[in-house]
Amino acid sequence: MAFTLAGTLSAVPAYADPGPNIKVTAAVPDGRWLRDETIPIDLTITNIGDAPATEVKAQGSTYSGPHYSFEPNTWGELDLDSPGATLQAGESRTYRLTGLIWAVEPGNPVVRLDVRTPVDTDRADNTVDVPVNVIPPETTERVAGQVYGDKNLDGVFSPGEELAGITARIGSFTMPQELSVVTDAAGRFSFDAVPVGSHRGLYFRDVAGGWLMPESTVMRLDGSGKYEALSIRGQQPLSQALQAKIALDKTSYAPGGAAKATVTLTNSGAHPLSGLFVTCRDDSGTDLKIPQEQWGAFGSPQAGALAPGQRLVLSVTAQVPDMAAYYGTTALHCDFNGKTYLSGPQVFLEAKVPGKRADARGLAWVDKNNNWRPDDGEGLANTVATLSTRDNKLVSFARTDAKGYVTFPGVAVGEYVFRVAGPWKPIQGDSTILHVAPPYGWEWRVQLEPR
């Protein structure tokens, strides 16, 4: 990144040789920098000569102390393998270089920066040494606060909302061990000596009463003490107050057809809900996609609201994707959440998309050597196998080959239950397979064990 300063510099001394003259200064920006984070260096290059400086390039190395490694591509137009920069007479540019300290030895690095151009009337000011001062890694910091259950949903602590007996933990992959304390009767916790670091995670366990806590609070501890008065808000799941139901107008659709859904939202709680929104997933390209504008305030604005006891009905429409015909199903899978809430309700509704047929092929196998993968000789050979619907209607039967593979010809796409004859059962208790038509299908595997 470069910044250009265009302006009038002091006149070149009369004794200076004519031509370009590069002058270099550099410094680490002010801040409480940590050893485990990216640390910038601002390099300023000024042409104090009276002619353009061309092919200006730079390089850097650790002059003393722990090794400081520049990040790839940090040099930009100054890279030694690039054509280099051109600075007009009197022009100054500042480049933000970045790097990391890759060493465990104590102390602070000193980085030497060297800037070169083919023609320079004075090279004595082309090199600069830059101290990279960081907070000593042995520095510790106090982290403390209060945990409360927000019963009245006002977003601040009120008397009677203290959450006692909750385990608070701080950890990081760069910490030698995790720290743990338990909140007192007032919901307060305190860690008196947490090592500094750029990523320290605070999280909570053993939370009773159905309260949900933030998954993790990521802290940058630099010894400044800014995490000594945390207020950690616990919430009841949004799904306790917000109920969501979806009904489709049909149980079966044709590819490209219109699917209409009726969505009913109800606030069964004692407090108004606001900032509500809906997001619907499509993980495989077969699900129904509801345009955000159809959700109104519950769409992109994320401004849906429901008064206590209010019931709201929304009607939405989506086109059934053509790809659904290869899977035999389409679905509406929606999450109902709020900007200031946790764990809203989820609704999943499925419909059939009949039509395509294809051979269903898979492997029945027994893990004889307990390595959790099928090896030669582990296929269940010469055994009768069947495909059935979930309500136990037989769809097809066939016999496995010498390697344990079985093919059921011309089966309609969709979900089926796979079974084999004899003293065998699926190891996970459920042998449901998803039969998908080419080119999206695959050979499934069912692991079996003795009954």
**Segment 38-80, tens digit of pLDDT:** 999 999 999 999 999 999 999 999 999 999 999 999 999 999 9
Say how far apart CA 415 and CA 352 lie, in whole Å. Answer: 10
pLDDT at 251 exceeding the cut of 50? yes
Average pLDDT, the chain: 93
Looking up tokens 């060493």, which residue turns up? 103
| Bond into 439 cis (ω within 30) | yes
Beta bridge partners of 167: 182, 205
DSSP, collapsed to helix, strand or coil, labels residue 374 as: coil
Centroid of chain to Cα 197? 21
DSSP, collapsed to helix, strand or coil, labels residue 297 as: helix
Strand order through the sheet with 110-116: 85-87, 53-64, 110-116, 127-131
Say how far apart CA 372 and CA 356 lie, in whole Å. Answer: 33
DSSP, collapsed to helix, strand or coil, labels residue 326 as: helix
Beta bridge partners of 170: 179, 202
Say how far apart CA 58 and CA 75 lie, in whole Å. Answer: 7
Residue 16: the pLDDT is 60
Question: Does pTM surpass 0.85?
Answer: no
Q: Contact 143/224 with Cβ under 8 angstroms?
A: no
Averaged pLDDT, 202-218: 93
Q: Which domains does the chain have, with CATH numbers?
A: 2-131 (2.60.40.1510), 140-234 (2.60.40.10), 240-352 (2.60.40.10), 357-450 (2.60.40.10)
Ranking 3-17, 310-324, 390-404 by mean pLDDT, the lowest is: 3-17
Q: What percent of the chain stands above pLDDT 70?
A: 96
Averaged pLDDT, 4-16: 45
Averaged pLDDT, 273-292: 93
Q: Contact 213/232 with Cβ under 8 angstroms?
A: yes
Contacts of residue 10, Cβ cutoff 8 Å, sequence gap at least 6? none
Q: Which residues of 179-192 are buried (b: 16+ CB within 10 A; e: fewer)?
A: bebebeeebbbebe
> What CA–CA distances, in Å, run from 218 to 79, 115, 161, 172, 215?
35, 39, 24, 10, 10
